[in-house]
Structure 1
Amino acid sequence: MIFRTEVSPEKGLEGLLSHGTPVVLVGSCFTDNIGACMRDDLFDVIVNPFGPIYNPSSVRRAVSSIVDGIRISPGDLFPHEGRFHSHLFHSRYSGCDREAAAQAMTRQIHLAREALLHASSLIVTLGTTRVFRHRQQGMVVANCHRLPSSSFREETLSLDQCTDDLESLVSMVRTVNPDIHIIFT
């Protein structure tokens, strides 16, 4: 008896992920789990450089930040409950020192960019179409950082909005790495 499911790669996709080239993973907490397994198996991976993010708009914005190689300045961060946060990043990158937090976030973006330029694959894991839009700034946030719910307006992305975000993501990535394979889960 076989006590496992054997999965063979689709024809033409053998070697899509290899130990010889970096793989970038962006998205939900599933990405953290898969990335940890890949890291344990000695793959060269960059896993969730913004922390877990779930909706297509936030994932697109994160990938745009990677492609553009943006720098997070201390002025981009806001204080809340004794720490400095960014609405682009998960709280794992927040910190008590504004400068150090901004540097850590910028370092993650630049590591991800360097990997993306040479990556064989980008794996994107989505989790929801529900988004929270900051009332004052008007932007969809990747993380609310336990700010009062009155600071945000909850919305559900339409199919067209999701499609636009994901098509934009693919186009952006292809500008810096035209041969990359993009896998959505």
Structure 2
Amino acid sequence: MEFRTKVELPVNGPKLHHADKLMIWGSCFSEHIGNLLTENKFTCDVNPFGVLYNPLSIAASMQCLWNGTLYEEKDLQHTADTWYSLMHHSSFSSSSMEECLEKINERIRKGHENLRQADWILITWGSSFVYTWKENGKIVGNCHKLPARLFERKRIGTDEIVEAYLPLLRQIKTLRPQLQCLFTVSPIRHLKDGLHGNQLSKANLLLAADKICQELDFCHYFPSYEIMMDELRDYRFYADDMMHPSALAIQYIWECFSNTYFTSSTLSFLKEWEKIRRGLAHRPFNPETEAYQTFLSQILLKIEELKEKLPYLDVQKEIKSCQAQLKK
């Protein structure tokens, strides 16, 4: 007997190679997936503006990176001795205007270069509710806990989302003919919208992703939302707030994603790298024993052999960690 509803995963789609370069945008769920990709040594740029939830803010940040448009003082806000951008996460904020601009523009420069070299773009939408800054009518990416009276809140429609993405993605595809774009909808429920409002919001995102994928053959959809809602229908798959996926749920969705999009050689690498990661995470009672020193030497050898096979692999941190622990 089958006691759960299995979500049908995409088949016969494009495959992601470990050497591919990725750009990742979106909600905190995209951070989870981005962190897993980074931990497994994929080359990826995750959320150059910080976490963004609504499709139009994500599209605006993509356009900014594509054009390489740097920020100026006029693009910032200044409140209570803090400089910040309404399009950026608070991690970019600073008590110094110069420092805030430098942090933002450094990521724009890096993101501009990475986007123009990207093989894959992964986008996770969280909500179709947006906040508009009343002062200029622009949709913001982050409200920075400012008073609600400064913003207007509204739910954007499917067509508005589609119209923002089609020309942008076609523009990027012109420069990167091999580009693949993967859309997903965050399984995290926005309960402040109300349960019904959250469903309407997610429905807009699902319809927009479907229309874009029908229009552009290099765009695809991965059902992380459906896996969480229909396959993992149990509170043990939720964190303590009963909204966010638990670590177990994230790991399961990651495995579904891996099995769907990774090449066989990429999956083989992941198994090999996992053994190395576990070895590096091991903390012996006495690290100076001969047995542990031999163990470290073997791990270091495996890392160096991987680097020789895959020259693009960035493993300097792991090599230095091993070398630092080995007896001199």
Same fold flag (TM > 0.5): yes
Alignment match, 1:52:
51
Considering Cα pairs closer than 8 Å and 6+ residues apart, tell me whether 1 or 2 has the greater RCO.
1
Unaligned runs of 5+ in 2: 1-5, 185-328
Q: Which amino acid aligns with 2:14?
A: L
Alignment match, 2:14:
13
Check 1:80–1:168 CA distance in 2 against 1; reply closer, same or farther (3 A cut). farther
Larger Rg computed on CA atoms: 2
Unaligned runs of 5+ in 1: none
Is 2:112 aligned against 1:113? yes
Alignment match, 1:43:
42
Q: How does 1:77-92 map to 2 (within 5 A)?
A: 77-92=76-91
Is 2:100 aligned against 1:101? yes
Check 1:12–1:32 CA distance in 2 against 1; reply closer, same or farther (3 A cut). closer
> 1:119-157 CA deviation, whole Å, 9 max, x = no partner?
110001101100011111110001111111111111110
- Partner Cα distance (2:133, 2:86) in 1: 9
Q: Which one has the bigger helix percentage?
A: 2
Report if aligned partners of 1:55, 1:130 keep a CA contact under 8 Å in 2.
yes
Aligned CA-pair RMSD? 1.9
Displacement after TM superposition at 1:173 (Å): 2.4
Q: Which amino acid aligns with 1:60?
A: A
- Partner Cα distance (2:55, 2:19) in 1: 29
Check 1:176–1:109 CA distance in 2 against 1; reply closer, same or farther (3 A cut). farther
Name the stretch that deviates more: 101-110 or 163-172.
163-172
2:116 partner SS: helix
Is 2:74 aligned against 1:75? yes
Report if aligned partners of 1:120, 1:180 keep a CA contact under 8 Å in 2.
yes
- Partner Cα distance (2:13, 2:113) in 1: 27
Is 2:157 aligned against 1:139? no
Paired positions, count: 178
Q: Which one has the bigger strand percentage?
A: 1
- Partner Cα distance (1:83, 1:177) in 2: 39
Displacement after TM superposition at 1:162 (Å): 1.5
Q: Which amino acid aligns with 1:137?
A: N
1:118 partner SS: coil
- Partner Cα distance (1:111, 1:83) in 2: 24
- Partner Cα distance (1:172, 1:113) in 2: 14
- Partner Cα distance (2:84, 2:62) in 1: 19
Q: Which amino acid aligns with 2:180?
A: H
Alignment match, 2:180:
181
